Amino acid sequence: MIKVESVSGLRALLNDKKNIVFIPTMGNLHEGHLSLIDQATLISRTVVVSIFINPAQFNSSQDLEKYPRTIGQDIALLRPYENVIIFVPQLNEIYPETPNINYDLPPIANELCGKYRPGHFNGVITVIDRLFNLIKPQAAIFGKKDYQQLHLIKEFSKVSYPTIEIIGMPTIRDGNGLALSSRNNLFEKEQLIDISFFNQSLTNIAHHAQSGQNYQESILFGIDALKERGWLIDYIEVRRSSDLKVALPGDRHLIILGAANYKNIRLIDNIEFCIDGSN
């Protein structure tokens, strides 16, 4: 493992490297991040992991402030990875000037999470554009936990970085099915059982939909049950998994996506599922 903090240092390290696989993160690493890194090490000898909390994608300064920062622990977790370059830039290395680009994103960027976090995906694409341009990877790996983000990065890359392969990896969960997330660390340990009610609700709705039941009713029922337990729901919706458009009768490959707040902490999750052809 090599740690590098400057853009010039990273450029020098990557100068003669081909087949670079890149994993952007905001740190506070957990098994979900490590699953992406494990995949990268299987396909390349040169893996770059960035750890950079990107202010451009936060809509609230409070959310940015309380985002967990555990760089010492992150580096210790990555130490066993021989071929991994960790890029830990300061803000001015990535943004010498305050970024001010409006990307022409597809309309879906303003739906689902985009509706509740205006500008969020523009901020995500801003940092991805800078990092792709600097690192010039052959492939970049992302988690399906952030499914809408993965979709928008794929769409952006098709046009702006067509040679970069965008790989999506499954969501890693704990024993209660809770998707691992840096934000889970903002809860007390005892609350982790409570917050797994969110993914259990999504799973129930997906099962109802799969068995041919009216999932709109299950969504309303699920939202009520979550509200009763103190959750504030941003959205729970079933969409087409291929393009995240509203599912139409006859669409079989679907995904349920949700975002909800518990004790002022916002969690997102999603589950892909397939409706049997006979339904």
Residues that bind ligand AMP (CB under 6 A): 25-26, 32-33, 35-36, 142-143, 145-146, 169, 171-172, 179-182
Shortest distance (Å) from residue 105 CB to ligand AMP = 18
Shortest distance (Å) from residue 143 CB to ligand AMP = 2
Sign of the alpha-carbon torsion through 146, 148, 151, 157: negative
Nearer Cβ to ligand AMP, position 25 or 218? 25
Nearer Cβ to ligand AMP, position 219 or 260? 260
Nearer Cβ to ligand AMP, position 142 or 156? 142
Nearer Cβ to ligand AMP, position 126 or 218? 126
Q: How far is CA 103 from each of CA 67, 106, 130, 260, rounded to the nearest angstrom? A: 25, 9, 13, 27
CA atoms within a 13 Å half-sphere pointing along the CA-CB vector of 133: 9
Shortest distance (Å) from residue 49 CB to ligand AMP = 9
- Residue 30 annotated among the catalytic residues of the structure: no
Q: How far is CA 186 from each of CA 68, 71, 146, 150, 179, rounded to the nearest angstrom? A: 8, 16, 18, 24, 14
Nearer Cβ to ligand AMP, position 161 or 215? 161
Return the closest-CA partner of residue 111 out of 262, 214, 218, 259. 259
Shortest distance (Å) from residue 169 CB to ligand AMP = 6
Shortest distance (Å) from residue 153 CB to ligand AMP = 9
Please pick, among 33, 120, 208, 253, the residue that the annotation labels catalytic.
33
Q: Annotated active-site positions, please?
A: 33
